[in-house]
Structure 1
Amino acid sequence: MTGSPLAVSILYILMPLAAMFTNFWAGSFIDHLNQKHLMIGLDLFRTGLIFVLPFLDSLLVIYIIVFGINVASAMFEPTSVVYMTKLVPKGNRQRFNALRNFINSCVFILGPSIAGALFMVGSPALAIFTNAGALCISAIIILFLPNLHEQSQINGRINMQSVIQDWKKILKYGADHKYIILIYICLVE
């Protein structure tokens, strides 16, 4: 829209900002809610936000929408990891993680390539609508996955008090297991 490198760089800055904003409270939501339903909701939320992008003219509104998409993506990743950990049997996790990392590496190259091809064939709007459609298909596929929770295991109510309680548990665990926390801090990307 603007031809400005600064405008594009702000889009890239929004991703880590959304992750930092989300990391303090998202774990409580992920632990207290049904992960399958949360993943479906996040996919549909991102679908809706991505779908409206081509119709927007205001750069500020686009930044706000992209920030919302990045917040939902920052929540989706740990939610999917929790769900996959429960879904994949212990004996198959090493093979599963290897295949998952291989697929993620391929997507890192294929995603921009496909988007570039869609730009050449159609328009940026076509690439955006295709992305929204892919997320909608993802939500439909997740819908057919098994529900791994009993209703009694899920505490559907989440508020600031439960986030604070979760942080107290984390800090107590960290105080009791300093070496594990040190190793974890060293391994965080």
Structure 2
Amino acid sequence: MSENSIPSFPAKTGNSLRLVMQSSAFVVLWLSEALSLVGDRLVMVALITLVYDRTGSSGAVGTLMVFKAIPALLLGSIAGVFVDHWNRKWIMVAANLFQGMLVFWLPVAPGLAGVFVIYLVMSTINQFFVPARAAAIPDLVPPDALMTANSLFAMSIVFAMAIGPGIGTWITEQYGLNAAFYVDSATFLIPAVAVMFLSIPFHSRTKIRFDLLKNLKEGLAFSLTQPVVLLSLVTITVGFYIVGTISVAGVVITRDVLHVATSKFGLIVSGLGGGMLLGALLSNFSKRWFTSMQCSLTGAILMGLAVMFLPFSSNLVMACTITALIGMGMMIVQINGQVLLQTIAPAMRGRLMGISQTLTGTASFLASALTGFLLEKISIPFVLGMVGVAALIVLSITAFRFGYLSSNRETSK
């Protein structure tokens, strides 16, 4: 198989969901990682509780989130280079094994510094795992079923967001904080063993010399010169920035705009999650009528408009409805953008996914930092209005630059 070829699959007929389910390797990867995603949300509850119990400081909890963001900012693009040269199956196996062992040691880590160091290492390892998993999916399902495969993973993320924290809270209350870490350790080790026995194609890259700096430059140059890639990365980054803004501004809206208890912020988050689930379902059906690029742009524009109207919500139901639109747009952007990055250049999947990791990590980090700062200085309608207008301007400039608002320029290679 040539470096730029797309994997061939036996001829199969039926709808896309049936095609996906006919791939036993994909089903095992999907279900095992769904378990791991639940574990990710579970451990966040336990980890935040552990840090707060030891310090009594919300600042320490905020520092923990910074340690999560740093690897994405610094290593996302670099990790993608390795993903394009190493066996993706064994990257996933090793990443799950190491993270499982590290989680096991979190509750007995010496001091707060030990907890932060372990979590930093886990976050670093995850920068290799995420692009490896995303880059492996097209090798496991036929091209016609790729949108459905990504939609299933997206729904798993929403499912994990919905039940993971609740499971973490229940385990902690019933069996103690340490038990939550041990359960999460198992949610890493089980997928590691499951993936170990899968047959995931590895396309040898021995003919291409491994040169980290050169390979990284190639990925960046490709991203900047290919309109489909550039616009995909722009829409995904805009989407993550808006969601990052809502994660900070939502509780302020709950208290200062809606004038209800801050505990109701959980309902706004639920609205976001419900919209994400709807967006994952819509993405799978919309491919019949629209290109992935059209869907991705539409989803990002929807998010930009919705975030501008959110601070003008007159009641909690209206606020939840608007955040649901934001969540729906986010998932449409994420799924369609990822499909485009997976298919445009198979030889660069890892690098493109790594660049996406860096951009989304940067967007989330900046959104959280800037929103918190700005809300101390100016009104929330003005802050969210600026975010929405800026998003629409960036999207419009990029789209008009490459003619995506007036014609279908999407290609597959």
Counterpart contact for 1:32–1:154, Cα < 8 Å: yes
- Cα distance, 1:147 vs structure 2: 3.1
Encode CA deviations 1:48-101: one digit per residue, 9 max, x unaligned: 111111111311121111011111122211110011121121121122222221
CA distance in 2, matches of 1:109, 1:42: 24
Q: Deviations over 1:136-189 (max 9, x none)?
A: 001011112113115xx144x99xx71111123124424543x34541342123
Q: In terms of mean alpha carbon deviation, does 56-65 or 34-43 score higher?
A: 56-65
8 Å contact 1:49–1:65 — kept in the other structure?
Answer: yes
1:170 is aligned to 2:219 = yes
Does the CA-based 8 Å contact 1:39-1:80 persist in structure 2? yes
What does residue 184 of structure 1 align with? 232
2:69 paired with 1:16? yes
Q: Partner of 2:199: helix, strand, or coil?
A: coil
Check the 8 A contact 2:136/2:200 in 1, yes or no.
no
Superposed CA deviations along residues 21-66 of structure 1, whole A, max 9, x for unmatched, are: 2213101110110000110000011011111111113111211110
CA distance in 2, matches of 1:174, 1:52: 39
In the alignment, residue 184 of structure 1 is paired with which amino acid? S
- Give 1:75's aligned amino acid: F
Q: Measure the CA separation in 1 of the matches of 2:72 and 2:217.
A: 21
Where structure 2 has 5 or more consecutive residues not aligned to the other structure, the ranges are 1-53, 241-413
Q: 1:115 — aligned with what? A: 168
Cα RMSD of the aligned pairs, angstroms, is 2.0
Cα 1:175–1:102, aligned 2, differ >3 Å: closer, same or farther?
Answer: closer
CA shift in 2, pair 1:154/1:40, >3 Å: farther
Q: Tell me the number of residue pairs that the alignment of Structure 1 and Structure 2 aligns.
A: 183
Which among 53, 70, 73 is matched to residue 126 of structure 2? 73
Unaligned runs of 5+ in 1: none
CA distance in 2, matches of 1:65, 1:76: 17
Question: Quick one: which amino acid aligns to residue 186 of structure 1?
Answer: V
TM (norm. structure 2) is 0.42
Partner SS, residue 148 of structure 1? coil
Flag the structure with more relative contact order, 1 or 2, with Cα contacts below 8 A and sequence separation at least 6.
1
Aligned to 2:57: 4
Match for residue 116 of structure 2? 63
